[in-house]
Structure 1
Amino acid sequence: MTRTTSAPRAQDEGPDLEMNTVKSAHLANDIVNSFGWADLNVVVKDRKTSAPLSILSNSSGFARAGEMLAIMGPSGSGKTTLLNALAHRVAAAGATTTGDILVNGQKVSLQTLRDLSSYVEQEDALIGSLTVRETMMFGARLSLPSTTSKKEAFERVDNLIASFGLQSQAHTIVGTPIKKGLSGGQKKRLGIASRLVTNPKILFLDEPTSGLDSALSLEVCSYIKNIARKYKLVIVASIHQPSSATFQQFDHLCLMSGGRTCYFGPVSGATRYFGRTGYPIPPETNSAEFFLDLINTDLDKNGEIVRRTDDICKSWDTAEERTLVSQAILKSREGSAGGMSHYAVDRPSRLMVPVVLLRRSWIKSYRDIMAYGIRIAMYLGLAILMGTVFLRFQAEQKYVQPYINAIFFGGAFMSFMAVAYVPAFLEDLSTFRQERANGLVGPLAFMISNFIIGLPFLFVIALLFSVVAYWLTNFRADASTFFMWVLWLFLDLLAAESLVVFVSSIFNVFVVALAVTAFANGLWMCVDGFLVPMDILNAFWKYVFHYIDYQAYVFQGMMVNQFQHGVYECDGTSAAGYQCSYPSDINGEGKFRGTDILRQFSITTGLQGTWVGITIGIIAGYRILAYLALVLRK
């Protein structure tokens, strides 16, 4: 349904949390006035003892629209665990999460919270070859209703670009390893802006200042604060060691250690609270650093900090400020007016999503030299190498084995070099995972667009390679045989790229995906019927792997394509006698047929159509398995 908004509610004055309590949470206009959580717990199994281990204990908090809440603590304090739990994400592997997550005082489902919110992860998942404006526009088209006009979408995008101070970089690319683009701070701002284009009411930020110096951190947080106030957003961000100026940009602080709350309340009230409980801040000290040092048990040598942190957490449990948090949550519950459970947003049609992804992938593919440009150059280099090494073979017996070697080399190494696609696919996969977590893209749309976009590029690679290598090597010189060769190379590349997609969908770490893909290609080379003919191949490798080896069908298809209609001359002369390595009914004429060569490799003619069908089935199988891998990796 279409969202409507009411007039912005005036900001309450004063630092006390009690003043920040939402007195009434009317939902008739579907606007988020408050966000809170009560008694949130996350429990996992201890790896050594398998006993329940609490990594987040009785956490409660509250924030209003237009405010920024900082979740702060030393490493391992539970910041990301809390942030993920609040966003209805998996808090930790095998974790059990209990407690209430409230919007306008009402418990909300995963789908409702996903419709209301957006999550910006610590690591950027921006596509480097897109410009700032294109990144924003594709984000808009993946999230805004299909009824939204282009004019409205462009207006929203341009307003956000202006709000984040990126007008002069609107047509600048994000940046690739080869071509420089935005600075670190600009990328952070773009990452946040690209999530805001989806029109969320709650924004979760996982360490938005990581990797930035103090000046850039302040710049990013200032922009976020202005946006929060302008659009009445609830901003919940985890931060680590902010500068004093950056720390003061936040309205409220949730200080954590060991999964427990040490303080929750206004940033301006934290100094007064710790001074009252016996931990005054020394003059001219960064308060954020002081709080972190106070509870950082990693620096503990004699147990003093552990005891101090335990005392601080216990003091919080009985503090007046803790009571104010509970009262704020209670009042928001009492003021809720119903209707949140029926909240929904309009999304683009299911057909629109793969179309948008296809368009985005097309731009990336022809701009980003890492995606296909380097591979085209690499395959052309391989074609020149192959064509000049296997140069101008003739229809003579001494050239038969080199012909076969060339066929194997062309198919096997074209397939093997598809590992170059791993980094480009992993970049796409990283973007997909973040968009999927925000409810924008599903595995099916991602897989469909990824498959379709590769078809023209892979065909061009197969054609260019063949134009060079086929004629230099002097394979059979007729059009039908040439284009059949191109078809086999195209299927070979498509299967190899599908293998990359499948492996990378399971092992989404570059080195691991590269190693597993290379190993699989090595295996396919060993059992494809060239290195060891089928009639002597070990039964285990033959029946377990050979028949699912796409390289085997490509090799057989190319062999038949070259030899089935050919006649070759034996060594020697009629006077000295012919030396024919391949038994044939025409040996007496000093010749043998190409089918006699195929017989040596146990290759039967007339099955090319079947082999094409099986290869297409293997390609489909890899893609389906990759899709299932993404479905299972929620």
Structure 2
Amino acid sequence: MSTSNISADVEKDAGTQDYTHLTNDTVRTFSWSNISVTVNDRATKQPIDILSNVNGIVEAGEVLALMGPSGSGKTTLLNILAHRAAIPKAIVQQELYVNGKTTDLESFRKLSGYVEQEDALVGSLTVRETLYFAAKLGLPASISASERTSRITSLLQSFGLTHQANTLIGTPLRKGVSGGQKRRVSVASQLITGPKVLFLDEPTSGLDARASWEVMRFVREVAREFKILVIASIHQPSTATFELFDKLMLLSKGKVVYNGPVGDVRGYFGGLGYEMPLYTNPAEFLLHLTNTDFSPDSTSKSSENHLTHLHTAWTHSPAATALAQTLSTPPPSTTHPLTLTPSSASPVTTLLALIHRSFIKSHRDVVAYGIRIAMYLGLAIMMGTVWLRLSPTQANIQAFTNAIFFGGAFMSFMAVAYIPSYLEDLSLYTKERANGLYGPTSFMLANFVIGVPYLFLIAVLFSVVGYWLGNFNPTAQGFWTWVMWLFLDLLAAESLVVLLASLVPVFVVALAATAFANGLWMCVGGFMVQPQALNPFWRYVFHYIDYQGYVFRGMMVNEFGSRNYSCGEGCKCMYASALEEQCVVEGKAVLAQYGYGTGDVGKYVGYMLVIIFAYRMLGWVVLYLRKH
């Protein structure tokens, strides 16, 4: 489906307000008890409680706010409730129930949605296309195209994004929607799939007071009408936004200070002697009350006693006792876990949607392939003009060899330019996998499929310029064989980038690792030092798995396997061959110096395919094993 078709489909049902896909009578309650998280202090090696015995419950149609000062544990709690990893090397105790029963991770991800604090969106898609692909990936095939379109239009209107529907999200090189509008797109893209439990990590971050209120008002309306359970961590909402929440869980130092209706907050803390002044933002008052980091006596006994009083008061309050009774009656069943498996998009539909989305990104975002095409063309012009119209003489044999090494090695090295684009894709995959939309297989296949035509195009464009300017083997077969080797070289180089960037998804580290790996392959490939002279360690450990080495061999055979070179004046041939008496160096004599044979090209191609497959499979393993 083209991008114009996406736009047309979405516009067909403009003005409708249809959220019937969100209706759900299955999930009535989501509860948790005795949640504790402990880590060891780096300095003292003593255990520190990040969370301590946190209990709570949310019923269908309610919106719960998780609040607390920085370091209170609200983000950690949100991640635990969403069945996500909390803190590395932490000891976690948790009891999570849906309708009083446990549920496995896969099922829970299918019935829940999670909006990250950092927006993970494809910058080269429009707002409308972002929602389109969210629906395509998250909704079952039974949902008709017109129904998906209706939901997209409704969400665009409700989130105030109608006028930005055809605006790009934004890339480093192309301005798009504002940061606040990105937050609204992130929330809308989760709601479109009809989650039964929705987690929001700072949903109003980057929004002004009006936009924050509009987003949370819409979330509350949808939650109430279609019985969705919403849990949102929030920092310091305005008074109007704060009052949109049904319940508040207030944390301080990892312990609960209050857990109940928002409307009862003033009375509860007033009863403890903390009167809330009139015309004061309740959220601001509560954060000031529970934050001792900046108090003048934050290290004194009185500060510690203040928090102890708040914690103890809640623990012994009637509301906490009532909550404990609610959680224990009826007792949670662990013998018959609840398994909810809503239908979702088929694997084929998912793969096609990912390929379609990647195709749009690839031709709009110049960072993905546009800059690389320009870089490779520049390299081809430079190479072709440096090694310009080399004549087939003995004096130029080394120049031909140098050009072959340079072309293959630097084509591979410049694959580092793909790292930023891949890391953006990886960030989006991490979010969508955590929400149960698809796994590493679909992601890896789509990534490979969309890259193949662009890498082939790069190989052809580079060869059209560099090959003929350099006057390499002037035959059609020689040209297309050169193209094939460059194509395999690029496939292997990009596969290496995918592996290393998946292993360490940090730009600077991935860049350094890829550059180091390419430097290693250049050294042991067989050009700098011939294979026979390589140190046994480098030869047997790295040389035989060096894809650049096989590219160099293949290109050498392509150039010298069926071409002869004049020995020049005096007929002093540097390479002994059968044609020496004719004052000609047979190209095969050059290959013999490197130990290469013309009959091994098929094996070289096979080794390249194995290496490419191995890189991709290792990348798949890395993504499969990574916990979310």
Query: Same fold, TM exceeding 0.5?
Result: yes
Q: Is residue 579 of structure 2 the alignment partner of residue 586 of structure 1?
A: yes
- Residue 612 of structure 1: aligned partner: 605
Q: Deviations over 1:341-393 (max 9, x none)?
A: 25321112222221211111111111111111111111111111111111100
Q: 2:108·2:340 contact (CA, 8 Å) conserved in 1?
A: no
Q: Deviations over 1:535-576 (max 9, x none)?
A: 222221111111000000000100110011111122423xxx
Q: Which moved more, 1:393-402 or 1:485-494?
A: 393-402
Give the alignment partner of residue 423 of structure 2, picking from 404, 419, 426. 426
SS for the counterpart of 1:344 is coil
Deviation at 1:631, TM superposition (A): 0.8
Q: Distance in 2 between matches of 1:391 and 1:436?
A: 50
- Residue 512 of structure 2: aligned partner: 515
Q: 1:231 is aligned with what amino acid?
A: F
Q: Is residue 250 of structure 2 the alignment partner of residue 255 of structure 1?
A: yes
Q: Distance in 2 between matches of 1:7 and 1:79?
A: 27
TM alignment of 1:44-55, pairs within 5 A: 44-47=39-42, 52-55=47-50
Q: Deviations over 1:98-134 (max 9, x none)?
A: 3432333433332332232111111111111112222
Give the alignment partner of residue 363 of structure 2, picking from 351, 355, 366. 366
Q: 1:295·1:305 contact (CA, 8 Å) conserved in 2?
A: no
Q: 1:30·1:343 contact (CA, 8 Å) conserved in 2?
A: no
Q: Which moved more, 1:604-613 or 1:280-289?
A: 280-289
- Residue 138 of structure 2: aligned partner: 143
- Residue 88 of structure 2: aligned partner: 93
Q: 1:616 is aligned with what amino acid?
A: L
- Residue 202 of structure 2: aligned partner: 207
Q: 1:579 is aligned with what amino acid?
A: K
Q: 1:591 is aligned with what amino acid?
A: V
Q: Deviations over 1:195-232 (max 9, x none)?
A: 11111111001111223344443343233233323433
Q: Distance in 1 between matches of 2:465 and 2:21?
A: 66
Q: 1:207·1:238 contact (CA, 8 Å) conserved in 2?
A: yes
Deviation at 1:5, TM superposition (A): 8.4
- Residue 322 of structure 1: aligned partner: 320
Deviation at 1:460, TM superposition (A): 0.4
TM alignment of 1:56-71, pairs within 5 A: 56-71=51-66
| Residues 282/302 of structure 1: CA separation in 2 closer, same or farther (3 Å cut) | farther
Deviation at 1:53, TM superposition (A): 4.1
Q: Identity over the aligned pairs, expressed in percent?
A: 53
Give the alignment partner of residue 623 of structure 2, picking from 607, 622, 630. 630
Q: Distance in 2 between matches of 1:63 and 1:5?
A: 22
Q: 2:496 is aligned with what amino acid?
A: L
- Residue 270 of structure 2: aligned partner: 275
Q: Deviations over 1:134-172 (max 9, x none)?
A: 211211121212222212222222222222222222222
Q: 1:163·1:227 contact (CA, 8 Å) conserved in 2?
A: no
TM alignment of 1:109-188, pairs within 5 A: 109-188=104-183
Q: 1:30·1:340 contact (CA, 8 Å) conserved in 2?
A: no
Q: Which moved more, 1:516-525 or 1:87-96?
A: 87-96
- Residue 599 of structure 1: aligned partner: 592
- Residue 16 of structure 1: aligned partner: none
- Residue 468 of structure 2: aligned partner: 471
Deviation at 1:284, TM superposition (A): 4.2
Q: 1:83·1:206 contact (CA, 8 Å) conserved in 2?
A: yes
Q: Is residue 293 of structure 2 the alignment partner of residue 295 of structure 1?
A: no
| Residues 547/373 of structure 1: CA separation in 2 closer, same or farther (3 Å cut) | same
- Residue 525 of structure 2: aligned partner: 528
Q: Distance in 1 between matches of 2:336 and 2:162?
A: 39
Q: Deviations over 1:441-480 (max 9, x none)?
A: 1111111111111110100000010001000111111101
TM alignment of 1:268-417, pairs within 5 A: 268-300=263-295, 301-303=298-300, 304-330=302-328, 333=330, 341-417=338-414
Q: 1:296·1:305 contact (CA, 8 Å) conserved in 2?
A: no
Q: Distance in 1 between matches of 2:575 and 2:213?
A: 78
Q: Is residue 81 of structure 2 the alignment partner of residue 83 of structure 1?
A: no
Deviation at 1:583, TM superposition (A): 2.8
Q: 2:68·2:252 contact (CA, 8 Å) conserved in 1?
A: yes
Q: Deviations over 1:392-430 (max 9, x none)?
A: 000112211111111111100000000000011111111
Q: Distance in 1 between matches of 2:379 and 2:138?
A: 43
Q: Which moved more, 1:461-470 or 1:247-256?
A: 247-256
Gaps of 5+ in 1: 9-28
Give the alignment partner of residue 448 of structure 1, picking from 445, 448, 456. 445
The number of residues matched between the two structures is: 605
Q: 1:203 is aligned with what amino acid?
A: L
Deviation at 1:38, TM superposition (A): 2.1
Deviation at 1:48, TM superposition (A): 5.4
| Residues 62/473 of structure 1: CA separation in 2 closer, same or farther (3 Å cut) | same
Gaps of 5+ in 2: 1-18
Q: 2:104·2:337 contact (CA, 8 Å) conserved in 1?
A: no
Q: Distance in 2 between matches of 1:390 and 1:84?
A: 58
Q: Distance in 1 between matches of 2:529 and 2:512?
A: 24
Q: 1:502 is aligned with what amino acid?
A: L
SS for the counterpart of 2:369 is helix
Q: Distance in 2 between matches of 1:5 and 1:246?
A: 26
| Residues 305/242 of structure 1: CA separation in 2 closer, same or farther (3 Å cut) | farther
- Residue 481 of structure 1: aligned partner: 478
Q: 1:119·1:195 contact (CA, 8 Å) conserved in 2?
A: yes
Q: 1:69·1:237 contact (CA, 8 Å) conserved in 2?
A: yes
Q: Distance in 2 between matches of 1:412 and 1:342?
A: 52
Q: Distance in 1 between matches of 2:134 and 2:27?
A: 22
- Residue 545 of structure 1: aligned partner: 542
SS for the counterpart of 1:630 is helix
Q: Distance in 1 between matches of 2:305 and 2:461?
A: 70
Q: 2:131·2:188 contact (CA, 8 Å) conserved in 1?
A: yes
Q: Deviations over 1:274-319 (max 9, x none)?
A: 2211222345433222222222243254334333112211111111
Q: Distance in 2 between matches of 1:246 and 1:212?
A: 12
Q: Which moved more, 1:74-83 or 1:213-222?
A: 213-222
- Residue 11 of structure 1: aligned partner: none
Q: Deviations over 1:158-194 (max 9, x none)?
A: 2222222222222222111111221112111111111
- Residue 563 of structure 1: aligned partner: 560
Q: Which moved more, 1:224-233 or 1:623-632?
A: 224-233
Q: Distance in 2 between matches of 1:79 and 1:284?
A: 27
Q: Is residue 193 of structure 2 the alignment partner of residue 198 of structure 1?
A: yes
Q: 1:356 is aligned with what amino acid?
A: A
Q: Deviations over 1:570-594 (max 9, x none)?
A: 2423xxxx33332334334332111
Deviation at 1:510, TM superposition (A): 0.8
Q: Is residue 435 of structure 2 the alignment partner of residue 435 of structure 1?
A: no
Q: 1:255 is aligned with what amino acid?
A: L
Q: Which moved more, 1:422-431 or 1:302-311?
A: 302-311
TM alignment of 1:228-247, pairs within 5 A: 228-247=223-242
Q: Which moved more, 1:491-500 or 1:276-285?
A: 276-285
Q: Which moved more, 1:70-79 or 1:143-152?
A: 143-152
Q: 2:22·2:226 contact (CA, 8 Å) conserved in 1?
A: no
SS for the counterpart of 2:50 is strand
The normalised TM-score by structure 1 is: 0.91
Q: Distance in 1 between matches of 2:495 and 2:299?
A: 56
Q: 1:295·1:306 contact (CA, 8 Å) conserved in 2?
A: no
